[in-house]
């Protein structure tokens, strides 16, 4: 292998959550060059004896403190254009994480600060490296996956109401959904959710049934984005 050019391999994370009716992403403010002071995706180098998915899970836990079983983590794509990192030839494997709303993150060792930012305000943020491209891919992946998988439940706590699930869809898709049709569709899609047997308390209005994530990993029929329905 000595005759082949050495690459550095990193993982970067697009960590999304829904908080206060806004789709938010976990970013760190870089404390070291390059891009010192800029917002960037959390991430880091892959250990020589470490699997890629393990490295992503490790970084996610380091940055957020969430146990690995919570939420959802999947590979998003790999970015390796020469020159994307001024330090050398760095190929990064991007992962997408979907998490329920969490307490504020702890700053990692190489981060001056870490915080949730609404994705609607990312345009002003001037992300480091090619992280704007990676983020865009993560957002589109998340929006698409809500259509045909039950991954919206990854944004929710273990038990949640249909209305909570609906706000997840509305937030990620930036569109309003009819509460009545949504309710019928979710409960009518086999394996999407299953009743927890309990109800909410203390809110305004009629108490809502609580549900847990179901066993399906593919939705039939899928939930369709209103914006794409018109052809």
Partner DNA sequence: TGAATAGTGTCTCTCAGACAATATCCA
Partner DNA sequence: TGGATATTGTCTGAGAGACACTATTCA
Contact positions vs DNA (CB under 7 A): 161-163, 178-181, 183-185, 187-188, 199, 201-209, 221-222, 224, 226, 229, 231
Nearer to DNA, 131 or 166 (CB): 166
Distance CA 101, CA 24 (A): 10
Q: Does 9 bind a second copy (CB under 8 A)?
A: yes
- Comparing C-alpha atoms, which of 17, 41, 13, 26 is closest to residue 171? 17
Site for a second copy in 37-76 (CB under 8 A): 45-52, 75
185 binds, among DNA, a second copy, none (CB under 5 to 8 A by kind): DNA
Site for a second copy in 141-160 (CB under 8 A): none
26 binds, among DNA, a second copy, none (CB under 5 to 8 A by kind): none
Nearer to DNA, 88 or 179 (CB): 179
Q: How far is the CB of 200 from DNA (least distance, A)?
A: 7
Distance CA 71, CA 25 (A): 14
Q: How far is the CB of 92 from a second copy (least distance, A)?
A: 10
Q: Does 215 bind a second copy (CB under 8 A)?
A: no
Q: How far is the CB of 61 from a second copy (least distance, A)?
A: 19
Distance CA 75, CA 140 (A): 14
Give the phi and the psi of residue 11 in degrees, each rounded to 5.
-115, 140
> Given the DSSP bridges, would you call strands 72-79 and 90-99 parallel, antiparallel or unpaired?
antiparallel
Distance CA 223, CA 148 (A): 6
* Binding segment (CB under 8 A) for a second copy, from list 12-20, 65-73, 156-164, 214-222: 214-222
Q: Does 88 bind a second copy (CB under 8 A)?
A: yes
Distance CA 112, CA 177 (A): 39
Measured between alpha carbons, how far is residue 90 from residues 31, 68, 128, 196, 229 in Å?
Answer: 19, 26, 14, 46, 40
Q: How far is the CB of 208 from DNA (least distance, A)?
A: 4
Q: How many residues bind a second copy (CB under 8 A)?
A: 37
Tell me the angle at which helices 179-188 and 162-173 cross, rounded to the nearest 10 degrees: 110
Give the phi and the psi of residue 173 in degrees, each rounded to 5.
-95, -10
**Which residues make up the interface to a second copy (CB under 8 A)?**
1, 4-9, 45-52, 75, 77-82, 87-91, 93, 189-190, 218, 220-221, 228-231
């Amino acid at each position: 292998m000595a005759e082949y050019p050495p690459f550095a391999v990193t993982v970067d994370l697009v960590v999304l959550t829904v908080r206060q009716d806004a789709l938010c992403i976990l970013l760190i403010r870089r404390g070291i060059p390059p891009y010192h002071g800029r917002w960037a995706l959390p991430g880091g180098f892959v250990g020589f004896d470490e699997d890629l998915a393990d490295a992503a899970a490790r970084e996610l836990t380091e940055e957020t403190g969430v146990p690995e079983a919570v939420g959802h983590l999947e590979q998003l794509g790999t970015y390796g254009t020469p020159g994307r990192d001024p330090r050398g030839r760095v190929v990064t494997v991007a992962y997408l994480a979907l998490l329920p709303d969490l307490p504020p993150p702890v700053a990692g060792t190489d981060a001056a600060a870490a915080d949730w930012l609404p994705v609607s305000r990312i345009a002003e943020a001037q992300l480091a490296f090619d992280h704007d491209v990676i983020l865009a891919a993560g957002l589109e992946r998340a929006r698409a996956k809500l259509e045909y998988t039950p991954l919206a439940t990854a944004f929710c706590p273990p038990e949640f109401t249909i209305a909570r699930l609906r706000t997840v869809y509305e937030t990620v898709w930036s569109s309003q959904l009819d509460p009545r049709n949504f309710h019928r569709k979710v409960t009518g899609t086999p394996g999407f959710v299953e009743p927890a047997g309990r109800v909410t308390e203390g809110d305004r209005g009629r108490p809502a049934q609580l549900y847990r994530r179901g066993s399906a990993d593919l939705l039939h029929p899928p939930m369709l984005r209103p914006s794409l329905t018109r052809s």
